[in-house]
Structure formats: structure tokens, C-alpha cells
Structure 1
Amino acid sequence: MPRGHDAHAAGRGPGRLRIGLVGAGPWAGETQAPALAGHDDAVFTGIWARRPDAARSLAEIWGTTAYSGAEGLDELLAACDAVAFAVPPDVQAPLVVRAARAGCHVLLDKPVATTVPEARAAADAVAAAGVASVVFCTLRFASATRAWITEQASAGGWFTASAHWLGSLYDTASDHPFAASPWRREKGGLWDLGPHVLSVLIPILGEVTAVTAFRGPEDTVHLALRHASGASSTATVGLSAPPKAAGARLELLGDQGPATLPPWSDSVAAFHAALDALVESVRTGRPADCDIRFGLRLTEILAEAEGCLGKR
């Protein structure tokens, strides 16, 4: 049975959502933990990680409880109304199933999973448990880009769109903590950056009805998409670009002329807004726009694109 706001939860006031964090890596420390600790409608109940020292270190910073091991995860889920995830997608998907079955609402990272069966199992578990879900696609929650997406979706009349999002994560001079991420090494920019691009294109241009893709240099992938509105779009994503070639840009062309996605920066504020969306979904019972079913659809599109790469 899903859990709502506990009127007797500890914190600054009654009715706050008790939320735990699964994961204690760099992304958890930079983004999720500060957003959870600073949210007025949430009580940051605890942090679980596979490595006890990592859980303890992050929990000490934010004044919450550390959990580790299989029993520790069960204890965290029992103490929470909701859980946020900051773990690799292949780890996240089965843990989402476990959290949903424990009655916890879920705030996921993108991508939900890197296989369609795992993403579907997580989505089905959330539906069966009747819990709320939100997938943290940064551009859907950062204030500037969120407002821009809403504006362009309302304007309509778009003919085509082009996007590129290139990182230099694997440059020899890079010291970015994500460069050592095994799942990013295996799946590349298609799975790491593709969800961001799709999360903008779909609400503006409509559902993706056809996908094709081919490889570029290193892990770079070029996508071509047809949308339900009749518009088409292209996207180039990758993590191996030279540093001077790195950057992100998305442009729409149509009846309104060109429109370019504005810059964004504050991931903590964006995650705070994603938690707002989860709280609202819990309170109202209405699914969030960017829920786990949307996350499943992103996984399906990326898997279809990956299938095109395997044929070449």
C-alpha cells in the first residue's frame, strides 16, 4: 500500500514526505542530497549505499542516518514514504521494484534502465503498488528550460528540430568523476545524454513514431526521429568529443521562426523541482508528466536506436 505524508514525521512541520536516498556517489553528493536536505516538504530520512563508508560519510554531512547492506536497505524503505535514486541504471531498476513493493514512492534518475524488460518491470511494479513516480530529466525541471519547453509546446507549428549534446568526458585531460562510471563506458552518450534530448523533443514535437541511428566517431551517435505531429528531428550525442567541441544546443524551426533552448546550470534547484513534482503527485494522486511510464518510453526509443547501430 502506498504511503502518503506522515503527520507525525519529524521535522519542521507535520505532513512532510519522509524520503531516503539510495546511492552515495558524486552525483548523490552534488545534487540529490542537498536538494533533499533543503526541501520544506520533505524529511531527509537516511542514505543507503553498498559501501558502508560512503553512506556514513554522506550521511554525516547532511545530518541523517546511514544504512548499508541488504538488511539496511529494507530498514531504509521501512522508515520512508519515498526514495530517491542515485545509482547506475542497471542497479536502479531492480531496486525500484523493491521500493515500490515496499509501498514507497520513487524519484528516479535517468535512464530508468538500459534494457526494455528491466524498465518495464520497474514501471509495472510502480503501477501495481499504486505509488507515485518521477524521473529526473534535468531539462524538464530546471526553471529556464522547463518554462521554455512549456512555451514552445503551446506555440506549436514546429517543422523540424536539431540538437547536439557532446561531452569530453573521456578526454585524456578530463578529471570528471563520471569518467570512471562503468555503465557510461559501456553504453556511451546515447544512454547518458539521449534521455535529456528526448525529454525536450517529445513534449514539444510529440511522440516518436520512427527512429533510425548510425555511429559517428568514438561513442558518438547520430539520431533521426519522426514525431506524431509530423515534425522530424535530428540529434547528435556523445561523451568523447574534443574539449573545444563539447557543448549542448537544441534549436526548433517552424512557423514561429527559430527557437533555441536557453542555458541552465543549477542541478540542485532542478532536483528540488523534481521532488516538488513527486510531492504533488503523492498529494493529488495524479501522475507526473515525467513519470516512470515516460522513462520506460525513453528506454524503448534508445533501445530501438541501439538496435539500428547493431545492424551496421
Structure 2
Amino acid sequence: MRIGLLGTGPWARTAYAPALAGHTGLEFAGVWGRRPDAVTALAEQYDVAAYADVDALLADVDAVAVALPPSVQAELAVRAARAGRHLLLDKPLALSVAEGRAVAEAVERAGVASVVFFTARFQKEPEAWIEEQAAVAGWFTARAQWLGAVFTSDSPFAASPWRREKGALWDVGPHALSVLLPVLGDVRHVVAAAHGPADTVHLVLDHATGASSTLTLSLSAPPAAAGADVELRGEAGLTVLPGSSQGAVPALARAADALVRAARTGRPHSCDAAFGLRVTEILAAAEARLVGSTD
């Protein structure tokens, strides 16, 4: 499968490009981005073609990986799907339900494969834990904390305009939901949403299994307090999401494996664009509750 990369920012350089270049089942064919000098530099680093026109890249590949801001991703994902290209996308799928639905509908109409890179779903230990807990009945409640220090450290993502505007809800909220939904079921209702310090938000969710979950999300945690943990309590007792021995590059390689399988078999992956849309819908509902809480 020939795959092109859309994007040249920090995430494209540190995660996507090395993952695509090192994948034995893919041919990393080229790069397109919004900054011509960055496109040239990244393409030269990996000895692939540099594209000035996104449609020219789409004409030369079977699939695209997208490492761009969510709204830019959504627009280009629709364009790529309509061109018949498989999609390796990042979270969040989009920043509005309308944008997310456009992607999911384009994927369905075109019959292309899609995988959204929710990191924990493609790391070995967390993935195995999620599958194990999803098979256990009787979960009563869950607590998830996803605390980043993006805005309180020298993170290369600190200046990201969409993160500055949307904050932790949209950046790390998808990670927490990607872990909770397979275990506790879909979210029936965002029971409560409240602001914490800086961009921190607290959510209470009601799930289809009858369980409830509480989420604390932030990109403004003190660096010493940063980290992610998920705790489940129920009839089976207490269990905690394990850490991962893998970073982003191996996890992205596994996401690429999933895309190749979905394209070959025609069977959708559980983290496809439709799942990405559902996560977007829940985030939008939570955001509406947050807005209502300040009126």
C-alpha cells in the first residue's frame, strides 16, 4: 500500500513520518503540507516525493495519513475518501459534529478503510487490558484522569491554535473516551460538566451498561502532576489501566497494520471514522454543557 503523509508539524515529524517510513507493509510515497519549506525538508529527510498540490499526492497513493489540525483534517479526509483513498487519521476526528459526520459519510460512501489513531487502543498492554475488561460484566463506575502539561512546559504543541481554543476536552478527552466506551458502553447522557483550573474540565457520564464515569481532563497540569490513569470498579473488584512499554511510533505502526487489514478484508476497525464521529458527538455534548454551566 502506497501511503502519503499530510502534514509537516511536530506530530508529523516525530511520530507519523518515522512510523510510515519504518513500516514493512507500506511504501511511504510522499509528503504534502501547508508550508512548502517544511514539506521539502521532511521529504528530503525520508527520501520521498514532496508535493505542492494535495490532489497530485492523492492521485499517486492508495492511502493517506493525516497529521494536521482537526478541522483541516476533516476537510482533507473527505477529499481523500472521495478520491478512493484509505485513511489513517488522528484524534479528534473533527471539532464539530457536522465535520465529523461529513468524514464518516464520505468513508462509508466511498467504501474505503479508516482508522483513527487513539493512542491507547494501539499500545499492546492498554489494548489487551481494554479487551479483557470489555468482556467482564458488572462494572459499576470508572474514574479517568488525563492530565497533560502542554501549556505548563516547553511542549512543542503549546502554541497550537486549536488546542489553545478547545483545550483538554478536545485534545485528551478523546483518549479517555476511547478507553471507556469499549468497556462501559456508549454514553447515553453527559450528566454534568464543570470547569476547573485553566483549561481543566470535569465530566460525569452515564453509560449504556448502567455504569457511570467521571473524567478529569487538563493540558495545564503542573509537570510533576501530569499523567493518565483509568480505574474501574465493579462486581469483579478494582482494576487499573496499565502503562505502556511503547511510545507513539510503535503504536502508530500498529494503527497502520489495522488500516492495511481493514483495506484488505473490508471489515471496519473498531476505531474507524464512525467511532471517531461518536467521540466527536460526545465531546460536543460535553462542550454544550460547559457553555451552559457558565451562562
TM-score, scaled relative to structure 2: 0.97
* Cα offsets for 1:185-210 (capped at 9, x unmatched): 00000000000000000001111111
Name 2:165's counterpart in structure 1.
186
Map 1:12-161; keep pairs closer than 5 Å.
17-68=1-52, 72-161=53-142
Give the partner amino acid of 1:144.
Answer: E
Kindly state the Cα deviation for residue 157 of structure 1 after the two structures are TM-superposed.
Answer: 2.0
* Cα offsets for 1:220-265 (capped at 9, x unmatched): 0001111111111000001111222221111001122111111124
Give the partner amino acid of 1:33.
Answer: A
Distance 1:169 1:193 in 2: 11
Give the partner amino acid of 1:240.
Answer: S
* Cα offsets for 1:142-193 (capped at 9, x unmatched): 111111101111123211100111112112xx21100010000000000000
Aligned partner (choices 281, 286, 289) of residue 305 of structure 1: 286
Distance 2:12 2:77 in 1: 16
Name 1:12's counterpart in structure 2.
none
Aligned partner (choices 224, 235, 250) of residue 230 of structure 2: 250
Give unpaired runs (5+ residues) of structure 2.
Answer: none
* Cα offsets for 1:69-118 (capped at 9, x unmatched): xxx11110000100000000011001001101111011100001000001
Distance 1:165 1:200 in 2: 11
SS at match of 1:170: helix
* Cα offsets for 1:51-80 (capped at 9, x unmatched): 111111111111111112xxx111100001
Give the partner amino acid of 1:148.
Answer: W
Contact 1:156 1:204 survives alignment (8 Å): no
Name 2:187's counterpart in structure 1.
208
Give unpaired runs (5+ residues) of structure 1.
Answer: 1-16
Aligned partner (choices 223, 240, 265) of residue 284 of structure 1: 265
TM-score, scaled relative to structure 1: 0.92
Stretch moving more, 145-154 or 190-199: 145-154
Structure 1 ranges of 4+ moved more than 3 A: none
Contact 1:205 1:231 survives alignment (8 Å): yes
Give the partner amino acid of 2:164.
Answer: R
**RMSD of aligned alpha carbons:** 0.9
SS at match of 2:268: coil
Aligned length in residues: 291
* Cα offsets for 1:240-296 (capped at 9, x unmatched): 112222211110011221111111241101100101111000010011110000000
Distance 1:19 1:243 in 2: 36
Distance 2:49 2:39 in 1: 9
Distance 1:205 1:169 in 2: 29
SS at match of 2:224: helix
SS at match of 1:311: helix
Contact 1:220 1:238 survives alignment (8 Å): yes
SS at match of 2:158: helix
Give the partner amino acid of 1:206.
Answer: G
Distance 1:162 1:227 in 2: 13
Name 1:3's counterpart in structure 2.
none
Give the partner amino acid of 1:182.
Answer: P
